Amino acid sequence: MKHTQLGEFEELVLLIIGSLGDNAYSISIKEELKNHTQRNPSIGALHSAFNRLEKKGFLDSYEGGATNKRGGRSKRFYKLTTLGRKALDQSYELRASLYHTLPKLGLSND
Amino acid sequence: MTDQKNIGPPRWADRFLEWYCHSKHLDILRGDLYELYDDRLENGSSKFKADIFFCLEVFTLCRPFAFKKLNNENSNTIAMWRNYFKITYRNLFRQKVYSFLNLSGLAIGLACSILIFLYVSDELSYDRFHEKSDRIYRVLEHFESEGNGEHSASLPFPTGPTLQQEYPDQIAQQVRLFNFQSPTLALANKLSEKAFNESQVFFADSTFLKVFDFELLVGNPETALDDPNTILITAGMAKKYFPGEDPVGKFLELQGTQNLEVVGVFRDPPKNTHFQFDFIVSFSSLKQWYGGGYPKNWYWNPCWTYIVLNENVNPEHVEANFPAFVEKFFPDFIVDDVDLELQPLTDIHLHSKLDYEITANSNIQSVYIFAAIAFFVLIIAAINFINLSTARATKRAKEVGVRKSLGSSKPQLVNQYMLESVFMTLLAMVFALIIVALSLPYFNGLTDKSIGFDFLLQPYIVLGLLGVALVVGLLSGFYPAFVLSNFNTILVLKNAHLKTSGLTFRKVLVTLQFAVSVSLIIGTIVAINQLQHLQNKDVGFDQDNILMIPVIRSPMGAHYETFKSTALQSPHVKSMTAVEEIVGAKHQVSNYRFEEMEKSKPFAHINLRHDFTKTFEIPMVAGRDYDMTIQTDDSLAIVVNETLVKSMGWGTPEEAIGKRFYYRNQLKGRVVGVVKDYNVVSKHQPISPFILKLNTRPRAFNLFIKYVAVKVDNNIEASIADLNSAWSSVLPNMPFDYFFLDDRLNDSYRSEQQLSSVTVIFSGLTILVACLGLFGLATFSVEQRTKEIGVRKVLGISSPQLLVLLSKEFLTLILIAFVIAIPFSYLLTQNWLNGFSYRIDLEVWPYLVAGFMTFLVAFLTVSYHSVKASTINPVDTLKCE
């Protein structure tokens, strides 16, 4: 199981890449992260996460979509691999099953 | 979109990205950054802000995944480094002579530089250890009219406190030091009968410990000097006066009259202060000497006065108040002639050359000269290193060829030889430190310092030394490394004749080396000559066999005539007088008014008793000397020197006789005599107008008469014994103390003495180092030419011819060096000599001597090889091919 372990930030990145579908590249991912979590990761942190996830086999990438803004340089789009999807599922299930074991109304001082 | 430069993100950041980023990622990352940059601009950010973010992002991308792979690193790097060390080691021992010359030259050079660095940093450290040192200033008094007068380091008694009262928002504290202007004061521990004349006793205001940071081992620094009749002593003095006891609470007797209670003990103060003290007496103890208060006189200026400015107070603003201050407080007759000035505490040691300094200061010029010498020695040593390494390079051509053909790249070869050179300099540095450790005591003796070796162990100095070794190593390794790595592989391996590459370069360096050495030798000869010129006894008075006996504040005033007549009964005592200051070293200044003058002006003068001109053998040019039989000489007669006559425009000395002067504002006295000019102070200064003032009042011994001067015959021991018995017949309870005038006068030239002895040693060393280099080069040159020599010998060359053949090349270089050195050293020595009032003229012979010496030494160095070469059997050198 060890190699499928996901960090919190990695998990978020994976989820967003999944949800963005065909338009998942660094800048759009950065925007989405900012919208959903109010945090603004540096572009360096993102790329290094992509790189790690790609090495672990959770992500696939292809180049394309050059724009004028980028000075004619292509973007690198990312796609979830089956392995990546599986890792997300596993992590979701783990969380859900643990969550259900929480006692109801555990917040005693309410 | 016309100018890309001004629109796009910062170019340097973009380039930086390109530099570190792996090509695999570069395009994508760059695209991202540009897109973000554009987005920001569209969202209304300023260009500046967008630029900043761009740069930040470039830096956040500095992550391992993005870096270029360092592809020339591979697993055998470590092995290669080990190999480099091994080769270095083998080379070191295979060519022992070279290695020795190389290392010892560099080690000597480094050691000299380190020693001089120690000296210079010690000189620069003076008075900097006080926490407030940047705010402490000494107040100076310029008291001058038409070039006559004094530049005094000390001030009238009331100045310090009055300044503080007048300008409390600028001046935080003041402290005065005072010592009766006396060269020594007598202190005694009555209980154990220990009595000495001490020269480092000061009275100081109670703020002494608040201004200066001297550490008290015992005693309360807040209150230590508050009470009258208290004294603080140093740990060293505690041992001297109270061995094995606790000094606190004990008493010391000052000048046989005042009992002072010891209330604290100083840790022995550091040597790097502009004044050294052994005893500090509370200022209020002085009151009993001046009728219950402090002198209120604004004319007499005996107190060294220091003030601490409040933080952020500009000293110029304080000085701006001084004219008004002088106007308000100083007496009318001198107001126009007095200027006060502030002198930063930290400038005193190197920049101050005033009248009445507490002790003679050093001067910044010597520091510069020493630093320049250190720099030259280091350069010569580094040049040696370069020369010998390049010369040796050809020997290692084969090694380079083999390395290259086995795939060594040029950068690797450069690395190897740089590494070797750095390694050698580090080794030399170790030897240099050993030399320094061994020679430091002698160096300290020579320069009168007490620098410890542990000074070098401070972290930043260790780093500095490593840095120097690294820089010298890299600089001197640079050239050989590139020469070596540029060898043509095939030529080298085919054993083709290698052109001795870099020969011109080496010649230039050798020439430079010798030019510097010759200049240093010339400088040394000039410095020694100048010193001799200063020290020669041609000062206009006799300084041999003159004993000076300090008598200030002793009861001698009442007994002087008895003492004199008793002493003169001895056949060994020729003549006796009493004087205010050490004749030929120091004088005081006082106001005088002669008949043509509107008002009085300051003149240099000295108080004295009868027989002054007789004792010091100063001839009278006109008129008469003070006469014992004429009672009124004390007030109505005056004796002046020739320069005064000239400066007053009185014509001949004979015409000066009879000129009137004012005594107590009444036109009463007359000039009765004119003495021949003599040097009233050291030869650093020209002879000034000077007045010899007879002062026969017994009370003068409290201030105006400090020494009895005695001319004795050559039987010094008997004379001293006779004087001692004469002394104890009148003053049985006072210690008899004396010194010789000529010794003391020589002390005036101590800084020149130091300078010349240091230059002698160091210029000697530079020549030695330069010759080591020359020797190495000659060795190499002979080795290169063994075959040629063999062939020439077969064809019948004679030994002298061989000598000429081999030395011609080097001696030409030295000749060129000599020619370069002449104008260079001329300018330097001329400049130095201009600082003296009495100076030698530059002559030709020092140049010739220096040139000849260098030539001779170089010739001997080279001829060693010629002689060796002439004994070679040609068969040996020619048989193998």
- DSSP-derived 3-state class of residue B174: strand
For residue B205, count other CB atoms closer than 10 A to its CB: 23
**More confident of the two residues B805 and B282:** B282
Q: State the burial class of residue B77 (Cβ atoms within 10 Å of its Cβ: 0-12, 13-18, 19+).
A: exposed
Banded pLDDT at B781 (limits 50, 70, 90): confident
One domain for residues B49 and B84:
no
A6-55 residue pLDDT tens: 888 888 999 999 998 888 898 899 888 888 888 888 888 889 889 888 88
In this predicted structure, the answer to whether residue B443 has a pLDDT above a threshold of 50 is yes
The contacts of residue B859 (CB under 8 Å, 6+ apart) are B807, B811
Banded pLDDT at B202 (limits 50, 70, 90): very high
Instruction: Output the six-digit token pair for B249.
Output: 């609470």
The domain boundary, picked from B311, B343, B375, lies at B343
Residue of B nearest to A50 (CA): B65
pLDDT at A4: 58
Chain A touched by B25 (CB under 8 Å)? yes
Least CB-CB distance to B32: which of A26, A45, A63? A26
Q: B228 and B285 in contact (C-beta within 8 Å)?
A: yes
C-alpha distances in angstroms, B328 versus B166, B238, B700, B702, B727? 11, 45, 30, 29, 47
**More confident of the two residues B535 and B829:** B829
Chain A CB contacts of B66 under 8 Å are 44, 47-48
In this predicted structure, the answer to whether residue B406 has a pLDDT above a threshold of 90 is no
- Give me the mean pLDDT over the B499-514 stretch: 74
Could you give the CA distance from residue A88 to residue A65 in angstroms, rounded to a whole number? 27
B132-172 residue pLDDT tens: 999 999 999 998 887 778 889 999 999 999 999 999 999 99
One domain for residues B767 and B725:
no
Q: Do B38 and A44 touch (CB under 8 A)?
A: no
The domain boundary, picked from B733, B762, B783, lies at B733
pLDDT at B320: 93
- Give me the mean pLDDT over the B536-545 stretch: 84
C-alpha distances in angstroms, B488 versus B420, B478, B809, B835, B868? 21, 18, 28, 57, 33
B828-842 residue pLDDT tens: 888 888 878 888 888
- Give me the mean pLDDT over the A76-101 stretch: 90
The contacts of residue B196 (CB under 8 Å, 6+ apart) are B186, B187, B188, B240, B735
Banded pLDDT at B4 (limits 50, 70, 90): very low
For helices B799-833 and B786-794, the axis angle rounded to 10 degrees is: 130
* 3 state SS for B449-482: CCCCHHHHHCHHHHHHHHHHHHHHHHHHHHHHHH
The domain boundary, picked from B66, B94, B109, lies at B66
C-alpha distances in angstroms, B553 versus B184, B254, B256, B278, B706? 10, 10, 10, 19, 8
Give which of B134, B121, B123, B129 is closest to B344, Cα–Cα: B134
In this predicted structure, the answer to whether residue B498 has a pLDDT above a threshold of 60 is no
Chain A touched by B39 (CB under 8 Å)? yes
Instruction: Output the six-digit token pair for B851.
Output: 């040139």
Least CB-CB distance to B57: which of A44, A48, A76? A44
Q: A20 and A32 in contact (C-beta within 8 Å)?
A: yes
Banded pLDDT at B590 (limits 50, 70, 90): confident
Chain B CB contacts of A45 under 8 Å are 60
Q: Do A27 and B35 touch (CB under 8 A)?
A: yes
Q: Do A69 and B29 touch (CB under 8 A)?
A: no
Chain B CB contacts of A78 under 8 Å are none
Chain B touched by A108 (CB under 8 Å)? no
pLDDT at B503: 65
- Alpha-carbon gap: A82 to the closest alpha carbon of chain B (Å): 24
Chain A touched by B65 (CB under 8 Å)? yes
Q: Do B60 and A44 touch (CB under 8 A)?
A: yes
pLDDT at B499: 55
Residue of A nearest to B65 (CA): A48
For residue B142, count other CB atoms closer than 10 A to its CB: 14
Mutation choice for A interface testing from B23, B32, B43, B58 by most A CBs within 10 A: B32
Q: Do A67 and B35 touch (CB under 8 A)?
A: yes
In this predicted structure, the answer to whether residue A110 has a pLDDT above a threshold of 50 is no
Chain A CB contacts of B31 under 8 Å are 66, 70-71, 73-75
Banded pLDDT at A1 (limits 50, 70, 90): very low
Least CB-CB distance to B29: which of A45, A47, A63? A47
How is domain A2-100 classified at the CATH fold level? Arc Repressor Mutant, subunit A (1.10.10)
C-alpha distances in angstroms, B478 versus B176, B382, B389, B417, B465? 58, 12, 10, 8, 19
pLDDT at B327: 92
Chain B contacts in chain A segment 52-81 (CB below 8 A): 52, 63, 66-67, 69-71, 73-76
Chain A touched by B18 (CB under 8 Å)? no
Could you give the CA distance from residue B174 to residue B316 in angstroms, rounded to a whole number? 17
- Give me the mean pLDDT over the B382-409 stretch: 80
Cα torsion for B706, B712, B715, B717, to the nearest 10°?
A: -20
DSSP letters, chain A, are -GGG---HHHHHHHHHHHHHGGG-BHHHHHHHHHHHHS----HHHHHHHHHHHHHHTSEEEEEE---TTTTTPPEEEEEE-HHHHHHHHHHHHHHHHHHHTSPTT--TT-
pLDDT at B6: 58
Least CB-CB distance to A48: which of B27, B31, B65? B65
One domain for residues B261 and B229:
yes
Q: Do B61 and A26 touch (CB under 8 A)?
A: no
- Give me the mean pLDDT over the B756-783 stretch: 81
- Give me the mean pLDDT over the B415-430 stretch: 88
Sign for the pseudo-dihedral over CA of B143, B149, B152, B157: negative
Q: State the burial class of residue B827 (Cβ atoms within 10 Å of its Cβ: 0-12, 13-18, 19+).
A: exposed
Instruction: Output the six-digit token pair for B504.
Output: 């011109």
The amino acid sitting at B343 is Q
Least CB-CB distance to B33: which of A43, A45, A76? A43
Least CB-CB distance to A45: which of B28, B32, B60? B60
The contacts of residue B56 (CB under 8 Å, 6+ apart) are A42
Least CB-CB distance to B31: which of A42, A44, A71? A71
B746-755 residue pLDDT tens: 887 887 888 8
Banded pLDDT at A107 (limits 50, 70, 90): low
One domain for residues B722 and B780:
no
Instruction: Output the six-digit token pair for B399.
Output: 């090694």
In this predicted structure, the answer to whether residue B31 has a pLDDT above a threshold of 70 is yes
One domain for residues B101 and B191:
no
Q: How many CA atoms lie within 13 A of B701 on its CB side?
A: 18
Banded pLDDT at B513 (limits 50, 70, 90): confident
Banded pLDDT at B469 (limits 50, 70, 90): confident
Percentage of residues in chain A with pLDDT exceeding 70?
Answer: 91
Could you give the CA distance from residue B174 to residue B242 in angstroms, rounded to a whole number? 32
Residue of B nearest to A66 (CA): B31
Q: Give the range among B279-288, B481-490, B834-843 with minimum mean pLDDT.
A: B481-490
One domain for residues B717 and B579:
yes
DSSP letters, B413-461, are HHHHHHHHHHHHHHHHHHHHHHHHHHHHHHHHHHHT----GGGGGSHHH
One domain for residues B691 and B763:
no
Chain A touched by B34 (CB under 8 Å)? yes
B334-351 residue pLDDT tens: 888 899 999 999 999 998
Q: Are strands B666-675 and B637-641 parallel, antiparallel or unpaired?
A: parallel
Q: B342 and B313 in contact (C-beta within 8 Å)?
A: no
One domain for residues B756 and B871:
yes
Enter the ipTM: 0.85
- Alpha-carbon gap: B209 to the closest alpha carbon of chain A (Å): 58
In this predicted structure, the answer to whether residue B673 has a pLDDT above a threshold of 80 is yes
Q: What phi, psi does B152 have (nearest 5°)?
A: -100, 140
pLDDT at B636: 87
Q: B178 and B636 in contact (C-beta within 8 Å)?
A: no
Chain A CB contacts of B62 under 8 Å are 44
Q: Do A43 and B36 touch (CB under 8 A)?
A: yes
- Give me the mean pLDDT over the B564-568 stretch: 92
One domain for residues B58 and B196:
no
Q: Do A73 and B33 touch (CB under 8 A)?
A: no
Residue of A nearest to B54 (CA): A43
Could you give the CA distance from residue B701 to residue A61 in angstroms, rounded to a whole number? 104
- Alpha-carbon gap: B21 to the closest alpha carbon of chain A (Å): 12
In this predicted structure, the answer to whether residue B62 has a pLDDT above a threshold of 60 is yes
Q: Do A43 and B60 touch (CB under 8 A)?
A: yes
Chain B CB contacts of A26 under 8 Å are 28, 32
Q: Are strands B690-694 and B637-641 parallel, antiparallel or unpaired?
A: antiparallel
Could you give the CA distance from residue B597 to residue B304 in angstroms, rounded to a whole number? 32
Q: What phi, psi does B732 have (nearest 5°)?
A: -65, -20
- Alpha-carbon gap: B6 to the closest alpha carbon of chain A (Å): 16
Q: Are strands B690-694 and B601-608 parallel, antiparallel or unpaired?
A: parallel
Q: Is residue B680 part of a domain?
A: yes
One domain for residues B781 and B861:
yes
- In our burial notation (b when 16+ CB lie closer than 10 A, e otherwise), range B658-668 reads ebebbbeeeee
Chain B CB contacts of A23 under 8 Å are none
Q: Do A74 and B38 touch (CB under 8 A)?
A: no
Which pTM was predicted? 0.72
Chain B CB contacts of A34 under 8 Å are none
One domain for residues B305 and B321:
yes
DSSP letters, B674-703, are EEPP--SS-TTSPPPPEEEEE---GGGGGT
Q: Do A70 and B34 touch (CB under 8 A)?
A: yes
H-run or E-run covering B767: helix B750-784
pLDDT at B501: 53
Banded pLDDT at B2 (limits 50, 70, 90): very low
Could you give the CA distance from residue B755 to residue B119 in angstroms, rounded to a whole number? 12
Cα torsion for B643, B648, B652, B656, to the nearest 10°?
A: -110
pLDDT at B236: 92
Beta-bridged to residue B187, according to DSSP, are B196, B254
Instruction: Output the six-digit token pair for B403.
Output: 């390395």
The amino acid sitting at B409 is S
For residue B136, count other CB atoms closer than 10 A to its CB: 24
Q: Is residue B548 part of a domain?
A: no
Chain A CB contacts of B65 under 8 Å are 47-48, 51-52
**More confident of the two residues B505 and B136:** B136
Give which of B720, B713, B537, B708 is closest to B611, Cα–Cα: B708
Banded pLDDT at B625 (limits 50, 70, 90): very high
Beta-bridged to residue B546, according to DSSP, are B711
Domain total in chain B: 5
**More confident of the two residues B66 and B199:** B199
Range of the domain at B615: 555-733
Could you give the CA distance from residue B567 to residue B587 in angstroms, rounded to a whole number? 26
- Alpha-carbon gap: A20 to the closest alpha carbon of chain B (Å): 17
Q: What is the DSSP letter of B289?
A: G
Chain A touched by B31 (CB under 8 Å)? yes
Q: Is residue B793 part of a domain?
A: yes
- Alpha-carbon gap: B28 to the closest alpha carbon of chain A (Å): 6
* 3 state SS for B294-337: CCCCCCCCCEEEEEEECCCCCHHHHHHCHHHHHHHHCCHHHHCC
- DSSP-derived 3-state class of residue B601: strand
The amino acid sitting at B658 is G
Q: B518 and B818 in contact (C-beta within 8 Å)?
A: yes
Q: A39 and A9 in contact (C-beta within 8 Å)?
A: no
Q: Do B34 and A73 touch (CB under 8 A)?
A: yes
Beta-bridged to residue B303, according to DSSP, are B155
- DSSP-derived 3-state class of residue B579: strand
Q: Give the best-scoring range by mean pLDDT among B117-131, B658-672, B823-837, B867-881.
A: B117-131
- Give me the mean pLDDT over the B473-477 stretch: 81
Q: Do B34 and A47 touch (CB under 8 A)?
A: no
Residue of A nearest to B39 (CA): A69
Q: Do A48 and B63 touch (CB under 8 A)?
A: yes
pLDDT at B495: 63
In this predicted structure, the answer to whether residue B565 has a pLDDT above a threshold of 60 is yes
The average confidence (pLDDT) of chain B is: 86
Chain A touched by B27 (CB under 8 Å)? yes
One domain for residues B564 and B636:
yes
Chain A CB contacts of B59 under 8 Å are 44
Chain A CB contacts of B38 under 8 Å are 69
pLDDT at B319: 93
End-to-end CA distance of chain B: 73
Q: Do A73 and B60 touch (CB under 8 A)?
A: no
